[in-house]
Amino acid sequence: MGSTSFTNPYAIEVIRMKKSELVNGISNTEDLLDLLIANGVLQPDSRAMMSSITAQEEKNSRMLNVLIARGERACRIFFYPCLKRAEPDLYQHMRTYVGGVNEGIKDARRQLIGYLLEKDKQGLVKYSKSTKELNPERIQPKSIRNEATSSTERKQIPKSEGDHDAILRAISSGDLHLLQELIKGLDVNSSRSSSDSLLHLAAEYGKEAIVYFLLRQGAKLNLKDTEGRTALHRASERGHTDVALALVKAGADLHATDHTSKTPLHLAAQNQHESTVKALVLEEKKSLKNQTTVLHMAAIEDEAKLAEVLLRNGASVDTRDGQRKTALYHAVRHGNEKAAAVLLKAGAQVDSVIVDAAFELNRKSLLSLFLRYVQMSMSQSEMNSALFKAVRRNLDGVVAALIAHGADVNSFNELGYTPLLLAAELGNAEALKVLVSKKARLDEKLPNQISALHLAIQSGSMQIAQILLDKGIDPNISGPKDQTPLHLSASHNQPALMALLLRVGAQINSITQDGLTPLHLASQSGHTEAVAQLLEAKADLHVKDKQGRTALHWAAAHGEVGVIQLLLAAGADPNASEKEKKTPLHLAAMEGHTKAVSALMAGKAKVGAKDMDGCSPLHYAARSGKERAAGVLLASGKSMNVDDKNVWRRTPLHLAAEHGHETLVDLLLKNGAKINSLDNNKDTPLHCACRDGHVETVQRLINWTNGERANLQATNKVKKTALQVAVLEDTPDHQIITTLLKKKMFLVK
């Protein structure tokens, strides 16, 4: 947009149009920021934001963007007086430009040029006693301060006592004219022998006009004296509210601390200058967001009286710091009960983060205080929920405080746990002790019938189990499927807990709904230590479960050699049969547990034992393809068992062929198995292999030459040869078998 068409030169539009020139033309950026802050256009924390930007053009651009965002008034003050003082040449250029584009506009008062003309007519605004704000003309930029004297030529404050006294009298009496004469050409930041700067003295005496004058002369706001105090500390300590406000508005650090960690607000409150406290609290609210406030500091240091003064004078009780934490959070986290009481009384909000902080501390006195204030705002379900949370984290102090303030010690959560059941499951003994002392019911169970004692066994907590037993819980209390705590300790291999339970009367041969004893469970899990302990306590070796299985059956089925040896040594029957007449050897062979097979055979287990279907252990090894177990059985020297037939007259070779275990077919044939043995259907092993399409097995059978050979012409009960059986199926494997047999029978080349 060119100047000819720009007909609305408001300040904000001029900055937008001329932003590039302004960004490149402003060289005294820091001076300009000083002026913008002094005139209330920018907040003091803007300097911190800008200081992170090193490139001047980028800093200028950011500053202009902020001004545009703040609106027309901020942009006007930017041009006058700020730009005029910091960059007079650039200001004149902008004024000339605006005057040109403004030509022909009747209502010039609303445009930037009208504003500038009006301000120029008024001239400098003089300081008035009634003025409470820092006037636009009061602070000059560094580039034009003391133009006649460079920083290297400035003189120090005179060191003679007479000069000191004269300056002190001028400041204490508020004689600005005299002070101007006395320090003409001198460095206003040079300290006297006491380390007090002139600004310290003016602030201490409450001389507002002199403070403004010194600020215009470049007085540094945050210089510290020998006690580490700034001018703002001095003004606040003596209750000079107007001076304190002037310093804060000029950028003084409201949170600067002295050598005793006191801020200006601390000193104002300490000396009961409540009007100063109120004014500074208001400034803190306006200038600081998401930063640590003096109320946060009071909470951290447990300064309850300071917190009371701050809250009484307008401090926001729930203001959050940079970590989004309130003062109450810090008071609770540090265990500061006095400060926490003040904040809670003032209505501080309690959220889950603060509750967690209270829980972490686990101090009963603080929790009782805390709960007194929040109890009325918490429902019964919320109190109970907090109790479960405390139990889960084993916070005994929290548990005690919550119960004392109304939480139900026997409440249930959504999963059916009581606090006691939860403590037992987690092994949280400290929480459980409190719950027991508060009359928690010991006999409550989960929906699946697990008791607290069962849960203690599961968690392996001897301490909790001992507490529960000492308080009278039944050591034989039933759990899921009538499983007792002793069953559970046996299956988890916990000898110490087993000993404890047996000592207080646990029944060693108690059975579950499935007929399992603790010895059954320990045996099937392979827990040799638990088995040994149960055997020593005279557990019955011969008890059978609902399947008719003894502990030895279960040890064999799981291949637990160590347990098998313990049970056999204690007198277990190696040939005991279960409901289907299977012996432990049948089960070990079926699963291919070779070492278990050997251990059982060493204990006089019968290799030729038959189950209700007439199957021997070798039948099961052959059917399952357990070659090594079959090898052990065959190596026993009782080779007559190799052709044992079951009720369907099938030999182990039939089963190996039917299931395609070609290596087992070889093993059985090498051990004398009859290759053409017939079952009830007059099927040979070759018929079985052909029917199920086992190519490799068929090859082994038809190529066997060591002794009797496979009869390719043998027909079964329905007059089918092996070839005819193979032809009936139309899979690729059956087609291969058909071809193999035809070639073997010279039916094809």
pLDDT over threshold 90, residue 685 = yes
Q: Average pLDDT, stretch 621-636?
A: 94
Q: How far apart are alpha carbons 365 and 401 in whole angstroms?
A: 8
Eight-class DSSP state of 81: I
pLDDT over threshold 70, residue 110 = no
pLDDT band at 103 (very low <50, low <70, confident <90, very high): low
Which two structure tokens, joined as six digits, stand for 447?
A: 């929906």
pLDDT band at 268 (very low <50, low <70, confident <90, very high): very high
Q: What does the pLDDT read at residue 238?
A: 95
Q: Average pLDDT, stretch 110-122?
A: 72
Q: Return the exposure string of 605-617: e unless at least 16 CB atoms fall within 10 Å of the residue's CB, then b.
A: bbbebbbeeebbb
Q: Average pLDDT, stretch 362-373?
A: 75
Q: How far apart are alpha carbons 612 and 575 in whole angstroms?
A: 14
Q: Any idea which of 261-265, 294-298, 362-366, 669-673 has the lowest mean pLDDT?
A: 362-366
Q: How far apart are alpha carbons 328 and 339 in whole angstroms?
A: 8
Angle between helices 198-205 and 208-216 (to 10 degrees): 160
The structure's pTM equals: 0.60
Q: Average pLDDT, stretch 8-36?
A: 86
pLDDT over threshold 60, residue 157 = no
Eight-class DSSP state of 78: I
Q: Average pLDDT, stretch 651-663?
A: 97
Q: Is 427 exposed, middle or buried (0-12, 13-18, 19+ CB in 10 A)?
A: middle
pLDDT band at 128 (very low <50, low <70, confident <90, very high): very low
- 493-523: pLDDT as tens digits: 999 999 999 999 999 999 999 999 999 999 9
Q: How far apart are alpha carbons 22 and 16 in whole angstroms?
A: 10
Q: Cβ distance 140 to 39 under 8 Å?
A: no
359 vs 396 pLDDT, higher one: 396
pLDDT over threshold 70, residue 156 = no
Q: What does the pLDDT read at residue 135?
A: 37
pLDDT over threshold 50, residue 140 = no
Average pLDDT, the chain: 87
Q: What angle do CA 66, 71, 73 make, to 5 degrees?
A: 115
Q: Cβ distance 359 to 395 under 8 Å?
A: yes
Phi-psi region of 673 (alpha: psi -120 to 50; beta: other; left: phi over 0): beta
Which residues make Cβ contacts (< 8 Å) with residue 708, sequence separation at least 6? Answer: 674, 675, 676
Q: Any idea which of 231-245, 314-328, 361-375, 581-595 has the lowest mean pLDDT?
A: 361-375
CA 443 to mean position of chain CA atoms: 35
Q: What angle do CA 248, 40, 306 make, to 5 degrees?
A: 30
Eight-class DSSP state of 79: I
Q: How far apart are alpha carbons 554 and 564 in whole angstroms?
A: 9
Q: What does the pLDDT read at residue 688?
A: 97
- 172-225: pLDDT as tens digits: 888 887 888 888 878 888 755 567 889 999 999 999 888 888 988 889 998 999
* Cα radius of gyration (the chain): 48
Q: Average pLDDT, stretch 275-299?
A: 86
Q: Average pLDDT, stretch 554-578?
A: 97
Q: What does the pLDDT read at residue 625?
A: 96
Q: Cβ distance 537 to 502 under 8 Å?
A: yes
Q: Cβ distance 626 to 618 under 8 Å?
A: no
pLDDT band at 364 (very low <50, low <70, confident <90, very high): confident
Q: Any idea which of 279-283, 592-596, 651-655 has the lowest mean pLDDT?
A: 279-283
pLDDT band at 356 (very low <50, low <70, confident <90, very high): confident
Q: What does the pLDDT read at residue 101?
A: 64
588 vs 317 pLDDT, higher one: 588
Q: Cβ distance 510 to 504 under 8 Å?
A: no
Q: Return the exposure string of 435-452: e unless at least 16 CB atoms fall within 10 Å of the residue's CB, then b.
A: bbebebebebbbeeebbb
Q: Any idea which of 138-147, 467-476, 712-721 has the lowest mean pLDDT?
A: 138-147
Would you mind telling me the total number of residues written for the chain in this entry?
749
How far from 137 is each of 104, 211, 700, CA to CA, in Å?
32, 14, 112
The torsion angle over the Cα atoms of residues 81, 87, 88 and 94, rounded to 10 degrees, is -80
Residue 186 has φ and ψ, to the nearest 5°, of -100, 160
Q: Which helix (H) or strand (E) holds 354?
A: helix 352-361
Q: How far apart are alpha carbons 223 and 210 in whole angstroms?
A: 17
Q: Cβ distance 744 to 712 under 8 Å?
A: yes
Q: What does the pLDDT read at residue 137?
A: 36
Eight-class DSSP state of 445: B
pLDDT band at 162 (very low <50, low <70, confident <90, very high): low
Q: Any idea which of 67-76, 102-111, 325-334, 401-410 has the lowest mean pLDDT?
A: 102-111
DSSP letters, 579-613, are TT---HHHHHHHHT-HHHHHHHHHTT--TT---TT
Q: What does the pLDDT read at residue 4?
A: 37
